[in-house]
Structure 1
Amino acid sequence: MRQERAPLSRHLRVRQDRGHTVLEFLGEIDIAAAEEIVPYLDAATAPPAPRIVIDLSPVEFFDASGLRLLYRARSRVLARDGHLSLVCVHPPTLRVLRVVGLARLLPPLPTLDDALRRPGTPAR
């Protein structure tokens, strides 16, 4: 069952959906947004074997601070034997993910439904 929640900040909405914690990044993900998001990202990735989906669909701008958030999430999920999926269709963001090699480590999926249908892949 999907639980919709109001954004925790201007840049993040968190909800539970099909056994996953969905972190939906909103708007412009820059250094200020990252500072707001980190505590929630850390809380979501703290339990053992977390099942996390980071949804970048609503993102309009994504800089190195956003990349650091993704690497942080990946590292924390790996350390706890969890699963992490990424949803992204924004062409400039996809290009950045490919250039830095993150797309190989965390292949972006085209829809949230695709990410939630998968049983979960290890965040290798």
Structure 2
Amino acid sequence: MQQETPPFTRHLRIHQDRGHTVLEFSGEIDIAAATEIAPALDRATGRPGVRIVIDLRAVEFFDCSGLRLLYRARSRVLEQGGRLHLVCTHPLTLRVFRVTGLSRLLPPQPSLDAALGQPEAASGRPSAT
């Protein structure tokens, strides 16, 4: 079976790391970038049991279009019984996540290693408490 070549766009790079599909967003994530990223994001998040890490460390600007991408990815991954982790270190983006409540649903990690080391309970599933 031939493996599909991962898509590379100006705002997205996809690669595999330790059994996870890592989606690295970069640059300015606005409505134009979201339109470019969405099809690849949907392909990556549409498989049963998928394990995804979205890495935002190279993002310089992040607006509500980016938030919609993350909420959509989370919803699709959870519907498929998968796991989703988020990496983010940018102070303004982290603030947006806190204000919108996204940081409670997808706790941002400071590095790819930290995200890959997270247990399943931290994958964006609502806690039982």
Q: Same fold by TM (over 0.5)? A: yes
Match of 2:100 in 1: 100
Residue 6 (structure 1) shift: 8.4
Within 2, Cα distance between the matches of 1:122 and 1:26? 22
Contact kept? 2:106, 2:123, Cα under 8 Å: no
Amino acid aligned to 2:60: E
Residue 117 (structure 1) shift: 2.0
Match of 1:110 in 2: 110
Which structure 2 residues correspond to residues 1-124 of structure 1 after superposition, within 5 A?
8-120=8-120, 121-124=122-125
Residue 116 (structure 1) shift: 1.3
Within 2, Cα distance between the matches of 1:50 and 1:6? 15
Within 1, Cα distance between the matches of 2:123 and 2:109? 15
Q: Secondary structure at the match of 1:123?
A: coil
Within 2, Cα distance between the matches of 1:73 and 1:65? 12
Within 2, Cα distance between the matches of 1:54 and 1:20? 10
Q: Secondary structure at the match of 1:78?
A: helix
Within 1, Cα distance between the matches of 2:77 and 2:41? 10
Within 1, Cα distance between the matches of 2:92 and 2:108? 13
Q: Quick check: which has more Rg, 1 or 2? A: 2
**Shift in alpha-carbon separation, 1:71–1:62, aligned structure 2, 3 A:** same
Q: Percent identity?
A: 69
Contact kept? 1:30, 1:66, Cα under 8 Å: yes
For the aligned residue pairs, the C-alpha RMSD in angstroms reads 1.5
Within 2, Cα distance between the matches of 1:112 and 1:87? 6
Q: Secondary structure at the match of 2:124?
A: coil
Q: Secondary structure at the match of 1:65?
A: helix
Contact kept? 1:81, 1:122, Cα under 8 Å: no
Residue 46 (structure 1) shift: 1.1
Give the number of equivalent residue pairs: 120
